[in-house]
Structure 1
């Protein structure tokens, strides 16, 4: 979240951020304001359609327009790496789907209603969104759904020249990854033989949001160090 915002702010953008983590948002807001960056932060759970719609409405009220959006919120669930599909807990399944699928839907439909003509949206899936994974049923399913949803939105946004793309990161050294594997880097199974960094994903997202990618929509962009070579 902060990486994308920093790069966009350097390009002169006003920033509207939402997250469940109030402490993190307060720090990011303070950092941006210290640099003179116009910023709005909102604490919310993307599973709430009403809260998401209020956030987008507040963004329009604050900044008068919405030119681009990146939908990044996601969780892996407590059973990733531990439960086969036959063992998946309903509560964990519903939580993963609620954040990763319904959450993206809530953001996407609120944004697509008001985004400027020629605007751009990026949704974050995963390398698990284009293949299967043992003991990763809920997460894989949710990330496949993000890709399907994004392709539909790209077709629907086309007449207004609104582009919708997907970024599919491989293993990226973030707090989410550390919550799964701990503080020791596991071996990277890709051509570059290392894990990605958050800013490497952020740079691709920012490029897709900008005018240099103006003829690209409905596509899945892998940033995974050559995982599928």
Structure 2
């Protein structure tokens, strides 16, 4: 198990779900954390969850920021403040994302401009803003991990915009990996399937009937847990994956088999 003692790592979407689970695991391994979420109040509540853990009782090595990743100036300010405080950046987990109100129910022809702009703004432009800011300052040998989705690897009817953004994340990850590999910087991607997070369980279009049809396609016959995905994010951030870059690691219980 790789130690992150002395390593500075940023995490977006850290107030809940996979982002929070990733922050908890990194903290338990000694990382110095800079956490961001659009809801600072939720993030501060999440901080108490992290520090109340016996594995990570000290919050003096954790910074929290309210950041709307769609706004490049907020992202740049957050990354600059992180480097100013800790003196460096060694890793980043870009986990923040949205499903959108149309997820699972909206035909492509029915999605309005506002919904399109919201989903693409967070899932692609927002992640791009983060990746760009991180690459400007990350140390040689650093690692960045982006959140895509299993829907980024196949077409997904009635999830067209969400699926398109997750395809875009994979393309951006590969391009960045090819460009920055010579500097010893690795950029990889995690593609989760259906993971039990507040965002997923809140989807109005998901109910007992259609979730049963989803599980029928999953060999493991269940949702994934946030900490199961977090372990993959942390593996890709660690030196244990030192010869991996441009890769997309699928965590979907076998959905895409």
Count how many residue pairs are aligned between Structure 1 and Structure 2.
Answer: 229
In 2, the alpha carbon distance for the partners of 1:82 and 1:31 equals 34
Write the mapping of 1:41-190 to structure 2, written as runs, cut at 5 A: 41-180=64-203, 181=205, 186-187=211-212, 188=215, 189-190=217-218
Q: For structure 1, which runs of at least 5 residues remain unmatched after alignment?
A: none
Q: With the length of structure 1 as denominator, give the TM-score of the two structures.
A: 0.96
**In the alignment, does 2:238 pair up with 1:210?**
yes
CA contact (8 A) 2:88 2:139 kept: yes
In 2, the alpha carbon distance for the partners of 1:164 and 1:10 equals 23
| Partner residue of 2:228 out of 179, 200, 216 | 200
RMSD: 1.5
Q: CA deviation at 1:32?
A: 4.4
Cross-structure match for 1:30: 48
Q: CA deviation at 1:9?
A: 1.1
Moved over 3 A (4+): 30-34, 181-185
Deviations 1:165-211 (A, max 9, x none): 01000011111111115685922121111110000000000010000
Deviations 1:140-168 (A, max 9, x none): 11110000011111011101110000100
CA contact (8 A) 2:40 2:64 kept: no
CA contact (8 A) 1:29 1:40 kept: no
Higher mean C-alpha deviation, range 1-10 or range 178-187: 178-187
Higher mean C-alpha deviation, range 183-192 or range 71-80: 183-192
Higher mean C-alpha deviation, range 115-124 or range 36-45: 36-45
Cross-structure match for 2:247: 219
In 1, the alpha carbon distance for the partners of 2:174 and 2:206 equals 34
